Structure 1
């Protein structure tokens, strides 16, 4: 099984074409430090992605996009697009869908004052099947009420997430990508919730279960 990557949905934004590498000659050092940062919860009970790790949006040639920040019709409709959260304690073997280029966002708490920041809507411990979900890609999938926001369906701890994961994987429909709930990153518990996501991602990888995805190209 390919190791999974934490999936994050952010608000659609406009990006300037200026080169971060030209502005910051220490980009490799900064990225390495963020990748190796093991912070569980950032200052002020904020999610780990706000001060550590690497938030990256990947694309490949098949996407037929002019730039990594260009929007697909689905992105425009949902007013959001997916990013992956990478960190040394969330190991992965390769990018999904053959990504060969992309863009990296600043952690929100480390964004320079002259740069725009962004809003995170929700996050998943693996691919969230967001194109098939309602709302900004964080809502219900295929009319399954248990695929709604996790806090709405009573999944608010790591143990309840594990129980739900096992329930799905032991059922007749093992499409965990679509049937999992979305952790809401707009509510006050988002710091704790994202730490649950990190643990959940590690659980998925440790179990080495083959998560079957019924979504095209998921």
Structure 2
């Protein structure tokens, strides 16, 4: 957590500098699962994310990226052809990333970005969904207090962004991978390490702040 506070401090300090902030919106699909392997067939739990995104160029190549968004994560297990077990988890998340910009020769309106950083997230609510055990399936809300499930998540992220510049802003395709480091359900008595992993695809639009 000290690393998170350090990056937040660096981000706050950068607000006083003269570089221009770019702000915008982002949305796209998510493909998630728990890191722990199970004896069952695992498929990606498909969800979505949307929220706000921002970027600040701090030098010729380096910049700082900050997002605030709603995101769906969880897991999806196929016990057999007719029985499935699924967790739909809903988070508010803040990724903070150091960004390195590549100029693309011959492509005047394009830039390629590589980024690495951390994310912190708060688990709002979740639903367990099963099919095949009971007629019509079953659905139960996550009970945080009784199961000891943790609401806060944290971990590193890495990704890239292809940016296309418009007259008054830019469009980007953003690919990112997140790996949680906290065992969210350590009291579930299943002898597993229940940490999030997610692949996120985002389409964003940004423009200079104040324009």
TM-score bracket for this pair, using the shorter chain length? under 0.3
TM-score, L = length of structure 1 = 0.23
Greater Rg by CA:
2
Specify which structure has the higher proportion of helix: 1
TM-score, L = length of structure 2 = 0.23
Specify which structure has the higher proportion of strand: 2
